[in-house]
């Protein structure tokens, strides 16, 4: 008999959870501190020997770099200055509107200016990026230079890696893909140490960044870079997806229900409905103290606290009254949500089955990854998603990154384009492993999976702000510890 997991509400369990969480955070801080301290000692020691400037590093591939420098020396400035209709691309890191207002891109992402239809590109964060991450380089030139490099080192831990590498090498004979079987956390721990020691062996990685660590600790320190192929930008489904990096696909956090019980549509339509007494003990969620996507989601709620206040008044007909513990309407939502006897289950598959079994006799709602919808096909579940207001979800983007001082920057750019969906006859091959039910490609020129629960354009999404999440999630975690 299938048993539903009970809420972890006892004092002893809560104390254990807090200790477990603190131990996990201590380990994470220790790893990060080791990397940062090692990086700082080696890097700044090197700077001192060079009279306070970053030492000039040997080029990892002199023959290719020499040709690039000869071809592009006079073009780099042009690529970051005014561009016309014949040479599109906004105006480097600034653009001027019709009324004379100047918009400056001070981010590490791309800003879309709706008034002019321009994409404002980010400025390179160091000299290596300025010389090697050319967002406007024509595809044919990338292929030519990548063939001269002859190989690319791809950090990936997924089972799909070898298959994708084989497809890439079949498209581009003469370029070998060296798979470095390593997870994101291991790569982020290892790379700063190797970088500081002058060891440059990694080219490219595809990774999520829900907590904003890559954006704030790696891109901001010029350890990793985003490559934004300008010809692909116009087919990205939402320009806001480009604010933190170059996305390949997106996954959402959705509220699920069992359509056997509710054949006419979802039983709820607002996030505030989850705080009502009729759902007491009937909502299953993963633990935001340990699951970063849900920490990030709750922190995003805080950014949009005004929307939660407006939504409350729309639903209940009067302004919200905040508890003394709650500084914003989003915090008040969290307080009421977790007070509603939420069932914590960090197993997404278990949650999906509890909510969606066709023979289920009890009604539950689940807050889980949109990828869970695949279990309808794989296991015959009856899951359906609720489109909640004020917005449905934050987008959990999966980005493509190029490592600083990559030994094969052009082959990395070519593989990046492939993982972003490619072009021409290869369109959609490189990211076909992510074109699945509950996982949306962000390009509008690649047909979506026919089993998607809804087109991506139908989801009214929050904008993911990696910097805001990075700076404010610790306070959100502290707040959760005080209310649970």
pLDDT tens column, 125-182: 999 999 999 999 999 999 999 999 999 999 998 777 888 999 999 999 999 999 999 9
76 pLDDT exceeds 50?
A: no
Q: Is residue 42's pLDDT more than 70?
A: no
Using pLDDT thresholds of 50, 70 and 90, give the confidence band for residue 378: very high
Please give the pLDDT value at position 75: 39
In the predicted model, what is the mean pLDDT of residues 42-66?
Answer: 36
Comparing 63-72, 92-101, 124-133, 248-257, the range with the smallest average pLDDT is 63-72
State the pLDDT at residue 104. Answer: 64
Q: Categorize the per-residue pLDDT at 410 as very low, low, confident or very high, splitting at 50, 70 and 90.
A: very high
Helices (H), 305-435: 305-316, 329-338, 348-356, 375-379, 409-419
Q: Is the pLDDT of residue 83 over 70?
A: no
Residue 277 is predicted with a pLDDT of: 97
pLDDT, tens digit, for every residue of 432-476? 878 889 999 999 999 888 888 889 999 999 999 999 999 999 999
Residue 86 has pLDDT above 80, yes or no: no
* Strands 102-104, 94-96: pairing kind: antiparallel
Angle among Cα 238, 239, 243 to the nearest 5 degrees reads: 120
Task: List the single range of 24-33, 79-88, 270-279 with lowest mean pLDDT.
Answer: 79-88
CATH of domain 250-394+474-483: 3.40.190.10
Q: Where are the alpha helices (DSSP H) in 220-328?
A: 292-303, 305-316
pLDDT-wise least confident of 85-89, 177-181, 315-319: 85-89
pLDDT of 427: 85
**What is the pLDDT of the chain when averaged over all its residues?**
83
* pLDDT tens digits for range 196-236: 999 999 999 999 999 999 999 999 999 999 999 999 999 99
pLDDT of 6 strictly over 90: no
| Mean pLDDT (whole number) for 315-333 | 97
Domain positions in the chain are: 16-53, 88-123, 126-242+398-444, 250-394+474-483
Q: Which alpha helices (H) appear in 135-228, and where do they start and end?
A: 139-149, 161-171, 184-196, 213
The CATH number corresponding to 126-242+398-444 among 3.40.228.10, 3.40.50.300, 3.40.190.10, 3.30.390.30 equals 3.40.190.10
Across 5-24, average pLDDT: 38
The pLDDT of residue 92: 43
Question: Is the pLDDT score of 308 beyond 80?
Answer: yes
Look up residue 251 and give its two tokens.
């996954």
So what's the pLDDT on residue 138? 96
Residue 62 has pLDDT above 50, yes or no: no
| pLDDT on residue 101 | 55
Asked if 238 contacts 463 with a C-beta cutoff of 8 angstroms, the reply is: no
Q: Which of 1-5, 232-236, 415-419 has the lowest mean pLDDT?
A: 1-5
Does 204 sit behind a cis peptide bond, omega within 30 degrees of 0 on the bond before it?
no
Q: What pLDDT shows up at residue 95?
A: 52
Separation CA 382–CA 373 (nearest Å): 9
Query: In angstroms, rounded to a whole number, what is the distance separating the alpha carbons of residues 459 and 393?
Result: 8
Question: Which range is least confidently modeled, 44-48, 180-184, 221-225, 326-330?
Answer: 44-48
How many residues appear in the chain?
484
Which pLDDT does position 98 carry in this prediction? 52
Q: What local confidence, expressed as pLDDT, does residue 452 receive?
A: 87
d(CA 215, CA 245): 8
Looking at residues 285-289, what average pLDDT do you find?
95
- Each residue of 155-164: b (16+ CB within 10 Å) or e? bbbeeebeeb
Q: Which is more confidently placed, 166 or 28?
A: 166
Does residue 50 carry a pLDDT above 50? no
**Residue 64 predicted with pLDDT over 50:** no
Instruction: Please tell me if the domain spanning 126-242+398-444 has the same topology as the one spanning 250-394+474-483.
Output: yes
Calpha distance 316→338 (Å, rounded): 19
Q: Would the pTM count as exceeding 0.95?
A: no
Closest C-alpha among 384, 386, 382 to residue 359: 382
What is residue 324's predicted lDDT score, i.e. its pLDDT?
A: 96
| 3 state DSSP class of 386 | strand
Query: What does the pLDDT read at residue 302?
Result: 98
Decide which of 21 and 231 is more confident: 231
């Amino acid at each position: 008999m299938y048993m539903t997991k009970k809420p972890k509400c006892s004092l002893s369990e809560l104390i254990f959870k807090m200790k477990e969480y603190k131990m996990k955070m201590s380990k994470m801080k220790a790893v990060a501190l080791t990397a940062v301290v090692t990086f700082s000692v080696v890097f700044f020691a090197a700077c001192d020997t060079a009279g306070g400037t970053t030492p000039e590093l040997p080029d990892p591939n002199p023959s290719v770099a020499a040709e690039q420098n000869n071809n592009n020396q006079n073009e780099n400035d042009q690529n970051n200055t005014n561009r016309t209709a014949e040479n599109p691309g906004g105006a480097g890191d600034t653009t001027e509107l019709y009324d004379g207002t100047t918009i400056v891109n001070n981010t590490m992402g791309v800003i879309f200016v709706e008034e002019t239809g321009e994409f404002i590109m980010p400025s390179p964060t160091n000299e290596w990026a300025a010389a090697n991450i050319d967002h406007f380089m024509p595809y044919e030139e990338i292929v030519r230079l990548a063939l001269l490099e002859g190989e690319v080192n791809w950090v990936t831990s997924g089972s799909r890696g070898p298959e994708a590498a084989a497809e890439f090498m079949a498209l581009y004979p003469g370029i070998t893909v060296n798979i470095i079987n390593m997870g994101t956390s291991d790569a982020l721990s290892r790379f700063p140490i190797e970088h500081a020691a002058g060891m440059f062996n990694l080219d490219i990685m595809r990774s999520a960044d829900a907590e904003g660590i890559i954006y704030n600790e790696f891109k901001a320190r010029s350890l990793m870079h985003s490559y934004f192929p300008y010809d692909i930008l116009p087919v990205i489904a939402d320009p806001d997806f480009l604010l933190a990096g170059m996305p390949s696909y997106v996954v959402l956090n959705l509220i699920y229900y069992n359509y056997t019980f509710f054949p006419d549509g979802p039983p709820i339509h607002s996030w505030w409905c989850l705080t009502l007494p009729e759902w007491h003990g009937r909502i299953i969620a993963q633990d935001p103290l340990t699951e970063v996507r849900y920490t990030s989601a709750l922190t995003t709620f805080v950014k949009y606290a005004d929307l939660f206040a407006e939504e409350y008044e729309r639903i209940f007909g009067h302004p919200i009254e905040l508890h003394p513990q709650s500084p914003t309407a989003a915090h008040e939502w969290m307080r009421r949500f977790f007070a509603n006897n939420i069932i914590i289950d960090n197993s997404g598959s278990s949650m999906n089955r509890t909510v969606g079994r066709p023979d289920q006799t009890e009604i539950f709602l689940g807050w889980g990854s949109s990828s869970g919808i695949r279990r309808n096909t794989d296991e015959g579940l009856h899951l359906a998603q609720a489109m909640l207001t004020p917005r449905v979800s934050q987008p959990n983007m999966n980005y493509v990154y190029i490592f600083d001082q990559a030994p094969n920057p052009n082959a990395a750019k070519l593989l990046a384009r492939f993982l972003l969906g490619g072009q021409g006859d290869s369109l959609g091959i490189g990211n076909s492993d992510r074109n699945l039910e509950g996982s949306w490609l962000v390009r509008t020129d690649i047909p979506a999976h026919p089993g998607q629960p809804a087109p991506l354009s139908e989801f009214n999404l929050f904008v993911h702000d990696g910097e805001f999440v990075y700076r404010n999630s610790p306070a959100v975690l502290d707040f959760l510890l005080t209310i649970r």
